[in-house]
Amino acid sequence: MTMRTRTLGTTGPQVSALGLGCMGMSGMYGEADRAESIATLHAALDAGVTLLDTGDFYGMGHNELLIAEALRSAPAGLRDNALLSVKFGALRDPDGGWSGYDGRPAAVKNFAAYSLQRLGVDHIDVYRPARLDPDVPIEETVGAIAELVEKGWVRHIGLSEVGADTIRRAAATAPICDLQIEYALISRGPEREILPTLRELGIAVTAYGVLSRGLISGHVTAGRQFAANDFRAHSPRFQGDNFQHNLTLVESLRKVAEQKGVTVAQTAIAWVLSRGEDVVPLVGARTRERLGEALGALDVTLDADDLAAIERAVPADAAAGERYASEQMAQLDSER
């Protein structure tokens, strides 16, 4: 297959139309298989996926080291095509707990230095704060990344999970290529104010959670038990009556998918792809099998009738439960 491309905003790089979100390869959804993770990264690069997304706090550095290993062992031509998007700022403790965010300029440069070393690269393609630090003006955080751009350590500046006002302030400080935010059939909050703001400013979207952490993949069934170290064990959308309600939405979507002769996951990913050429879905595939299914979404064309059928099956705001637990929702500038 020939991978289609999209551009991250008016100032950013050209990337594959689908990116690979690597978080799940470092334990956020239970145990992951290291060898299969590396094989999946290689398969993604071989298929023309160029955008690899990570965070320095995924597995407390584990994810960056994993990507570095995969890049070292990939054929040179594929390795050179990889574009790395890195989030920073989330603070962890040795027990794996979370203790806030740090967007101070000195911290930004410190985080970048460690990421460059772990990834084994001389620059980061897109560098972004994972969340807004409420104690540090976004102008200071973005200004520090801009200094890294001037020195060649970073190529482009991105944002993550921030609202329209913060986006405007950041864009007035330095060129912003994209906003990373959860955007899916059952996570459509960005459509209200954030997407119009981004389009006004020429900023793209890298959409994560396009399968809502597997919830709308068609592979999760009622009665599924999640390990204590799996994010979904604590996610409101996977709890009790919320879980049952959300699975009924998936079954409605399955009927649409079956009529098209594709999978539920491919339908959900294709819907995100249909939102515009300025939207790049990140698929969190941890295995070659799931990656192959996700790539199949690139061959799915949704016409007006298909989109209307999907809307009837999964209306906006139809999901039960917030996308994060209440403490985490309170940290999202994008939800204010």
Q: CA–CA separation, 20 vs 56, rounded Å? A: 16
Please report, for residues 9, 119, 120, the alpha-carbon distance to residue 63 in angstroms, rounded to integers and kept in the order given.
26, 9, 13
Q: Where are the beta strands (DSSP E) in the chain?
A: 5-7, 14-16, 19-21, 51-55, 83-88, 90-92, 98-101, 124-129, 154-160, 178-182, 204-208, 279-283
Cα–Cα distance for residue pair 88/105, rounded to 1 Å: 12
CA 27 to chain CA mean position, Å: 16
Burial 300-312 (b: 16+ CB within 10 A, else e): bebeeebeebbee
| Residue 32: both structure tokens together | 């992951």
Residue type present at position 208: Y
Are the C-beta atoms of 90 and 331 separated by less than 8 Å?
no
Residue 58: active-site member = yes
Residue 60 in tokens: 């407390």
Please tell me the distance from the alpha carbon of residue 218 to that of residue 176, in angstroms, as a whole number: 35
Place of tokens 């996610």: 235
Q: How far is CA 252 from CA 75, 211, 258, 271, 333, in A?
A: 42, 15, 10, 15, 32
- Catalytic, out of 29, 58, 183, 208: 58
Nearest to 118 by CA among 158, 77, 159, 58: 58
The whole-angstrom separation of Cα 313 and Cα 273 is 18
Show the tokens assigned to 62: 């584990």
Sign of the torsion formed by the C-alpha atoms of 104, 109, 114 and 115: positive
Which residues are known to be catalytic?
A: 58
